[in-house]
Amino acid sequence: MKVRMRGLAGSERGSSLVETALFMPVLLTLMLGVTDFGRAYYQANELEGAAHAGAVYGSQYPTDTTDMQTMAVDNAPDVSGASATAVYGCECSDGTGASASCATTPTCTGTTEVYYVKVTVSASYSPLLPWSKFASPGTLSAVSEMRSTVP
C-alpha cells in the first residue's frame, strides 16, 4: 500500500492540464486585448482612407461639400455609423489670408490664391469587453486637408 501511495504522489500525470487551466485566463485576456486593439486600429485606418477620398473629391470640386461627405462615408463601408463633415475655403498659397467658404477674396502678395478643402470623418468605437481604465467607448476620427487651384 505504501508503494502505491508513493507512486501517486510522485506522478506528474495531469500536471499539464492544471498548468493549462491556470494559464488559460491570462491567454484569453491577452487575445481579447490584441483583438480590441486590432479592431480600433482597423477602424481608424478605414476612417483615414475615407477622409482622404472625400478630400480628393473635394480637390476637384471644392464647393461640393455634400458630395465630399457622401464620398467619405461611402469609402468607410466596414465602419458602422460613420459620419463626415466637409468645409472649403480660399487662402493664399503660403497659408495666409484664409477665408471660409470663400466669403471674401484673400489679398495675396507674391503668392497665388488657392482653394482648400477639409474633410473630417468620425465614428464611435466600443471595445468588445469593458476594459475600464485601458479602453473605453469613444470616438475615432480622421481629418484630411487638400489644396487645389480648381475654382
Residue type, 81: G
pLDDT of residue 7: 54
Give per-residue pLDDT as tens, 14-47: 888 888 999 999 999 889 888 988 999 999 999 9
Tens digits of residue pLDDT in 55-65: 999 999 988 99
CA distance 24 to 18: 10
Overall average pLDDT of the 79-100 stretch: 91
Domain parsing of the chain, residue ranges: 13-148
Q: How far is CA 26 from CA 20, 30, 77, in A?
A: 10, 6, 34
What is the C-alpha to C-alpha distance for residues 54 and 70, in angstroms, rounded to an integer? 8
pLDDT, tens digit (0-9, with 9 covering 90-100), for 107-136: 888 788 888 999 999 999 988 877 666 667
Q: What would the pLDDT profile of 94-106 be if each residue is shown by its tens digit?
A: 888 888 888 888 8
What per-residue string of b and e applies to 85-114 under the rule 16 or more CB within 10 Å gives b?
bbebbbbbeeeebeeeebeeebebeeeebb
Q: Can you give the chain as a three-state secondary structure string?
A: CHHHHHHHHCCCCCHHHHHHHHHHHHHHHHHHHHHHHHHHHHHHHHHHHHHHHHHHHHHHCCCCHHHHHHHHHHCCCCCCCCEEEEEEEEEECCCCCCEECCCCCCCCCCCCEEEEEEEEEEEEECCCCCCCCCCCCEEEEEEEEEEECCC
Tell me how far apart the alpha carbons of residues 130 and 151 are, in angstroms, rounded to a whole number.
49
Task: Name the amino acid, one letter, at 31.
Answer: M
